[in-house]
Amino acid sequence: MRERLEALRARTAAAAVAAGRRPDEVELLAVSKGHPAAAVREALALGLERFGESYVGEAVPKAAELGGSGARWVYLGPIQTNKTRLLAENFSWVLGLCSHKAARRLDAQRPDGLPPLQVCVQVNADGDPAKAGLAPDRLDPFLESIQDLKRLTVRGLMTIPRKTEPEPATGAMPVTGPPAFTVLADLFAKHVAAGHPWNTLSMGMSGDFEAAIVAGSTQVRIGTALFGPRPGKPGAQADGEGAHHG
């Protein structure tokens, strides 16, 4: 894992520098879903602190097993309203917020002893019917509708693009990355310019993080390229989640 992490850091830095950005502007979020607590311990020993999980049924026992280790948990799966209490109680961040009902529940269920839940709003930046997320023109009304929820702090935006296909003629992947990256980056910049105190533009996964960094990502969510292939998806069946995983 040390070698994979070093290679990832080198590629992240190279993509940032190529885009005229500082490498430390890009956080590497370790996506530990599908990997056991031992893998998280190994990553903690390498200095990683924040871990992404997509299945509540897998994440909650894993977080309990790693209690006191310093690991902090970021939820990045689809938010089911019957799971909001577990999210509010066990996670420090929730990416992928896009429903007013889920937002109200997370706000009401966030325990008083914890800081506000940090959230990113998921935008379906390329109109993919297979994905959750708000259409870009629904973002402002949504933000307005949740601004009185004091136990939630909006930190930015996230997106999961459509699967990119290689160019038919050459078989090469498009260098510019999925169009969703530039759509989301423009939306993010516009909202920051309008005064939203955001710092998180979460986009890019193992297969496309360099293009995401070039487009402006501040957080790449890396599972496979750090932990290796996922051995399984415990909890996936029970939660009915996983349709968006690629």
Instruction: Tell me whether residue 34 or residue 136 sits nearer to ligand PLP (CB atom).
Output: 34
What is the residue type of 80? Q
Number of Cβ atoms within 10 Å of the Cβ of 173: 15
The least CB distance from residue 32 to ligand PLP, in Å, is 10
At residue 116's C-alpha, the angle toward residues 114 and 122, to 5°, is: 135
Instruction: Tell me whether residue 50 or residue 245 sits nearer to ligand PLP (CB atom).
Output: 245
Of all residues in the shown chain, the one whose CB is closest to ligand PLP is 223
CA separation for the pair 221, 32 (Å, rounded): 10
C-beta separation of 217 from 201 below 8 A: yes
The least CB distance from residue 151 to ligand PLP, in Å, is 23
C-beta separation of 186 from 125 below 8 A: no
Instruction: Tell me whether residue 84 or residue 122 sits nearer to ligand PLP (CB atom).
Output: 122
The least CB distance from residue 163 to ligand PLP, in Å, is 11
Instruction: Tell me whether residue 54 or residue 200 sits nearer to ligand PLP (CB atom).
Output: 54
Instruction: Tell me whether residue 2 or residue 190 sits nearer to ligand PLP (CB atom).
Output: 2
Among 54, 84, 124, 218, binds ligand PLP (CB under 6 A): 54
> Is 62 buried (19+), middle (13-18) or exposed (0-12) by CB count in 10 A?
buried
Instruction: Tell me whether residue 54 or residue 84 sits nearer to ligand PLP (CB atom).
Output: 54
Site string for ligand PLP, 135-164 (x = CB under 6 A): -------------------------x----
CA separation for the pair 241, 108 (Å, rounded): 24
Q: Count Cα neighbours of 123 within 13 Å in the Cβ-side half-sphere.
A: 27
C-beta separation of 43 from 238 below 8 A: no
The least CB distance from residue 68 to ligand PLP, in Å, is 26
The least CB distance from residue 239 to ligand PLP, in Å, is 13
CB < 8 Å & 24+ apart, contacts of 68-77:
69/40, 69/41, 69/44, 70/44, 71/40, 71/44, 74/29, 74/50, 76/31, 76/52, 76/158, 76/221, 77/33, 77/53, 77/239, 77/241, 77/242, 77/244
Considering only residues 185 through 224, tell me which ones interact with ligand PLP, judged by CB under 6 A. Answer: 205-207, 221-224
**Residue 62 touching ligand PLP (CB under 6 A):** no
Among 76, 149, 154, 214, binds ligand PLP (CB under 6 A): 76
Chain positions contacting ligand PLP, by CB under 6 A: 31, 33, 54, 76, 160, 205-207, 221-225, 245
